[in-house]
Structure 1
Amino acid sequence: MRPNARRTTLADIAQAAGVSIATVSKVVNGRGDVAPHTRTRVQELLHQHHYLAPVFRHTEAVEIPTIEVQFKGGLKSYVAETLEGIVDSAAELGASVVISKASSAPHWARDLVSAGRRAVIAVTSVYTTAHLNELARSGLPLVVLDPLHLPDSRVNSVGATNFTGGLAATQHLLSLGHRRVAYLGGPTMAVCNQARMHGYRAAMEAEGAPVPDVYVRPGEFTYETGLLGATALLDLQEPPTAIFAGNDEIAVGVIETARVRGLRVPEDLSVVGFDDTSLAQMASPPLTTVRQPLREMGGAALRTALRLANGEKVGSHHIELATELVVRASTARPREETVARR
């Protein structure tokens, strides 16, 4: 190498190979979690560019921050799409991500620090005061994605405009001519569920449409809630002509209940979901739903976690990304004979 020539960096190798800096670092440090063809390509480029590993040039060593991403429950569409956003952003920013199930083991946060984690991102996980105290003692910053409960002031969070989404979903059904619209949602105390329900109520009230107590049913964000909740709603003496579901899984359960009962969606019953996961497009019929930018939310959570890990301050403890109504084939005007019969 000529005396004044610029030394090849990890970024140079990553760009040439078409991979992330984190991947190149793993090859340099002998990590095993790299595909064989990728490893071979990176090693060839390292050799071609006469790259010297950081072990020989300590002043140029690059730290790859590792973020722990924890989730609770099954790896459902919502969680999977959010994780995809986190992982993609980590690759772009040269960070490493470890994905695990939420743990309640003693000193779990201390163990994460010992393992080299720099921050924690929680997806659909509930963090108690004890959890937060454990994190505070360990010095690990926490970012909660779409928090189920109002987060502690020590917690940064990323969510979506759930109230606006609930308002838009209900206004859509009202604009089609529905007046008997029910809300079938998730846990009563979940912040996102409350916001969606309040958006629903606000739209109904503005239109002067009545909301009987039996038209608002809490549950879980699951397919089973859709099955059972829709059964209860459709068994009413005056059942709804439309159901706004708190998420896509619930909505798919509603559609299945309608099918079993011989009701057609949307001819006999209109259904709206929330999230716009892959389920929404695979549903039959394709589901009208409120899109949460799940991958973008994951990316925002990752960027926030990295900033906190670097000791930077963030402008707001809570970030909300915009929702958007996506109209597909599960909603239509109510049939006059259906309205009369019901």
Structure 2
Amino acid sequence: MPPRPRARDLGLPFPGTPGPLNAITDIAGLAVGFCTLTDPARKMRTGVTAILPRPEREAMPVWAGQYTLNGNGEMTGTHWVNDAGYFLGPVMITNTHGVGAAHSGATRWMIEHYCDHFAGAHHAWAMPVVAETYDGVLNDINAMFVRPEHAVAALEARSTGPVAEGSVGGGNGMIAYDFKAGTGTSSRVAAIGGQSWTVGALVQANHGLRPWLSILGRPVGRLMPEGCLREQEAGSIIVVLATDAPLSGLALRQMAKRVALGIGRGGTPGGNNSGDIFLALSTAEPRPMPDAAPALITRQELNIHLIDPLYLAAVEAVEEAVVNAIVAGEEAVTVKPEGRICHAIDTGRLAEIFAREAG
């Protein structure tokens, strides 16, 4: 079966200039991998997504900031991100009951791959970032299918090339605005101070109710009301935002806040039952490990008074990534309640909405 078209392929006129892949992997060196677990006979539809910000085997942190719009969810390691402005290792995304397994697998992977960091006499510790959204409508989440080896498999499958979307990795069992959704990505290029910087977003979209859905200002949810599954929101969205711009931890927290504006463009108010949790990271200006750093650390960072183009890039990339997650979705059967159909969005009808208005 050929892959479903991305949102731009349908003629949706998203603003801004994307990178070559229109994906988070437009950030040089950043890699994304998936382990997808599907077995209808076992009511299994879940998985793990891995994002590795740096290609080096050597342990090297990335600057980061975090923001939570609504906290009904989990993203581990963020207490340290908020205090220190950086983290070391991969970012994993899975289902709600898979957080522990994914954390264990990512920790084992770090111990094996960052040998110089964990060897020797000093005390080293691993604190990967692991986030989740709930896939219990399409997956028997209490069976706890995700195991540590699946997190390792996602990391080992990583690639710096095009990123698969929809029902892959942790996005396999996810629903957004009552359409089958999952993983989505997009990127934007912005100019500041005579230089071009890239912002990329990856989302695990599992949020929203159909009547709320708005795409580029069109009330798509009201125009396509068939097949709704829920009367109250019971999902979440995780967003990882990455950039090659040299930003401080404070500026990255401000970037993470703008993710809320990007998902808000799609219509969600950030429901009470939704975990809307965002992480922003920068691969610029490599930060040495604290125990290997000199007493005085010198680094460059972008003047925050000039940062608005990056804020806009973040909002636009997140907005498009959510729509890419939805248009990539493929029909699935629910396990709770059993036997209903979670429909994929009709991409032909979606394209007609925009073609009709353009004409």
Q: Where on the TM-score scale, by shorter chain, does this alignment land: which range?
A: under 0.3
Question: Is the strand fraction higher in 1 or 2?
Answer: 2
Structure having the higher Rg: 1
Q: TM-score when scaled to structure 1?
A: 0.26
Question: Is the helix fraction higher in 1 or 2?
Answer: 1
